[in-house]
Amino acid sequence: MSAVPDDRARREIEELFAQYASGFDDADAAAIAACFAFPAVIWQLGEGHVFEDAEEIEENAEALIDVFDEAGIVLTTPETTTLLLAGGTAFATVDWRQEGQDGELLHAFRCHYTLIRHGEAWRIAVIVNDEPEGD
């Protein structure tokens, strides 16, 4: 196990999260789905949701894109705060910032990811969203 990723792995994983963020900013559900390995699991608000294929993730992404548009979010920025490797698996914590047109912070949150090496690329297998403070 290589707990500390090498520069190449870190760069590839950070590019994956940048691609994921750009998919939301560009309202491109297919680009978001391309970031995942299937089946994928997303845990949010104490519930796990299994997505069997890209079509299911795209439906979920389109709903989120609508919510983000209504909130006025135009820029989503990831910051990888923790990254550990174990063979073809990576574990990452990412702090997300979402801003409006004027640069105002509209939403900030943290997610934890299990990534897998899928061919030559890293893909998201599991997302666990942190619960809001006070819950």
User: According to the model, what pLDDT value does residue 133 have?
Assistant: 57
User: According to the model, what pLDDT value does residue 1 have?
Assistant: 44
Residue 1 within a domain: no
User: According to the model, what pLDDT value does residue 132 have?
Assistant: 61
Length in residues, the chain: 135
The whole-angstrom distance between residue 69's C-alpha and the CA centroid of its chain comes to 18
Residue 41 within a domain: yes
User: According to the model, what pLDDT value does residue 119 have?
Assistant: 86
User: According to the model, what pLDDT value does residue 80 have?
Assistant: 96
Closest CA to 105 of 73, 70, 65: 73
Q: How many Å apart are CA 45 and CA 12, to the nearest integer? A: 29
- Three-state DSSP at 63 gives helix
Which residues of the chain carry a pLDDT beneath 50?
A: 1, 134-135
Residue 20 within a domain: yes
Residue 135 within a domain: no
HSE-up of 21 (CA within 13 Å, CB side)? 21
Number of domains in the chain: 1
